[in-house]
Structure 1
């Protein structure tokens, strides 16, 4: 089996960078949308999927429009829900609970937030539903890290080593099976 290309594009810069943006539906800047479009201008994909939040939907729509396609919106590609911290500056959160969260977001989720394992489960579900064709997913840093964990088996504590700036593109080659196997092809910041 030849497998297929699977590309993950982190959304462009939001209008208010530096916030804990999970479920908060912050718009991307026009420059952020353009940066996303530039990153994938040379990709040949059959499907373009997107989180349902506008910081992903707007760049996905621009990319899909340039290719005469319609993006497929799927809320399973949303960012981790930061609960009571959502939409706040990290500096406005008490350092001790924030530190516990970053060290183990499954054991110490944000108050009223989502556990890391819940994000893993929903991303795994979205991955299982992919067609084995070249695909672009416009999503969030947390969802990309969850996908890397699911596809490559990289432990959570090592996933923070992946620098995923706004409009970063991560390309994988996927071989379907049980479990799927993946090879990282490249990261373009």
Structure 2
């Protein structure tokens, strides 16, 4: 199979920002999809895939309507499940627990939540389902997991760059003999 371009796009700003939203089905602010639609106008893709959570799915749907492209919703592109922390303000959580999580999200996942390696496994499966140029509208965590899977960067490496709402990470993906990729651009 030949290489293809993949455009990982972060959803628009949620109504309640600054929280660990995880699997909370928070919509985007009114007009929050405008930047996504504008960013997608110049992207050569034949499909749109999105997390089923409204802040991503609604933006992907708007892009699909504007570009007349089919949309597939895929739960594997959801944000990291923050478990008991889902919907919480990080400032209200025990600082020591948060520090342990950020330092080692596999050994110290959120209480009742998902580990980094579990997120990477489900995103890896979602990446294998892609077969050609695509726009994926998802969340910071699942996008970073995709970059990690494709490039081999660990959690520290993918958390080291800013990924604002509406940003696009452009990648070249080689599916043969495994799954590898190269970052070819970042549009904040």
TM-score, structure 2 as length reference: 0.96
Is this contact kept in 1: 2:149–2:180, CA < 8 A? no
> CA distance change for structure 1 residues 151 and 141 in 2, over 3 Å: closer, same or farther?
same
Match of 2:157 in 1: 158
| Pairing 1:10-21 to 2, within 5 Å after superposition | 10-21=10-21
| Whole-angstrom distance in 2 between the partners of 1:98 and 1:183 | 30
Give CA-to-partner distance per residue, 1:154-185, whole Å, 9 cap, x none: 11221111211111100001122122221211
| 1:12-43 Cα deviation digits (max 9, x unpaired) | 10011101010000000123211111111111
Deviates more, 1:117-126 or 1:169-178: 169-178
In structure 1, what is the equivalent of residue 110 of structure 2? Answer: 110
The equivalent residue for 2:179 is 180
Q: Which runs of 4+ in 1 moved over 4 A?
A: none
Tell me the secondary structure at the aligned position of residue 33 of structure 2.
helix
Query: Structure 2: which 5+ residue stretches go unaligned?
Result: none
Structure 2 equivalent of residue 146 of structure 1: 145
SS in 1 for 2:44: coil
The alignment covers a number of residue pairs equal to 188
> Normalising to structure 1: TM-score of the pair?
0.96
1:79-112 residue CA offsets vs partner (Å, 9 max, x unmatched): 0000001001111101000111111111101111
Gaps of 5+ in 1: none
RMSD: 1.1
